[in-house]
Amino acid sequence: MSVEQTTQLIQLILNSVLMSVACALALSGLTVRHAAISDRLEESRQDELLTNLDLARNHSMSRRQLRRLQQRYSISRYSVLTAYYALFFSGLSCFALALRGILDWNWLIPVALGVFVFGIASLLVAVGLTLLEIHLSDFAKQISHGNRPLLDEASHLWRWGKQPRLRSNSRRPIKKSLGAVGQRVKVG
C-alpha cells in the first residue's frame, strides 16, 4: 500500500470515527428526550386514572392530549431506533476500514463507503423524525398555552432529572410517636 493510499484510508477511518461520535451524541440526546416523553405519558395516564372528570369537554380534551402524547412517544421511539441503526452502520464502516488496513482486500473500501452512506441516511432520518416530534409538541403546546412552546419544551427537558419528582400518593404509612398522640395543648 502506498503512502497516498494509507493517508486516504486514515482519512476514511477518521470520518467513520467522527460519524460514530456524532451518532452517539445524537443517540444520547434522543434517549433523554424519549425518556422524558415516556415519563410525561406515564404521568398523564396516572392522572387520568386518578381523577374523575365531570365535564365531557375536558375529558375529550384530555383524551386528545393523551393521543397526541402517544403519537409523540411512538415517533420518538422510532427516532431512537434509527439512531441506533446509524451508530451500528458507522461502527460497521469503521470496522470494515480497519479490516482493510490489515488485509489487502480492495473491495472492503466500497463496502465501507456504502455502509457509511447508510449510517448518514439513518442519522438524517432520526433527526427528521425528531423534528417531526418537536413539531407535534409545538402544536400541542400552542393549543394549550399559546406562548413560546419550543422554549418551554427545552426548559422542561433541561429541568428533567435535576428536580426530584414528588409523589402525592405515597404508600408508606404515617408514623406517629406515642408521646404526641395523647397530648393536649393548654392555653394559658
Domain for residue 108, yes or no?
A: yes
pLDDT tens for the chain, residues 1 to 188 = 677 777 887 888 888 889 999 999 999 999 998 998 888 888 877 776 666 554 444 555 567 778 888 888 999 999 999 999 999 999 999 898 888 888 888 888 889 889 999 999 999 999 999 998 888 886 545 555 555 555 566 666 666 555 555 544 445 444 444 444 445 545 55
The DSSP H or E segment spanning 160 is: none
Domain for residue 175, yes or no?
A: no
Domain for residue 120, yes or no?
A: yes
Domain for residue 139, yes or no?
A: yes
Q: CB–CB of 138/72 below 8 Å? A: no
Domain for residue 9, yes or no?
A: yes
Cα distance from N-terminal residue to C-terminal residue, the chain: 100
Q: CB–CB of 86/26 below 8 Å? A: yes
3-class secondary structure, 80: helix
Cell of 147: 406562548
Domain for residue 188, yes or no?
A: no
Residue type, 98: A
Q: Roughly what angle, to the nearest 10 degrees, separates helices 3-50 and 149-159? A: 90
Domain for residue 59, yes or no?
A: yes
Its domain, for residue 53, covers 3-164
Q: What is the pTM of this model?
A: 0.65
How many domains, the chain?
A: 1
Domain for residue 145, yes or no?
A: yes
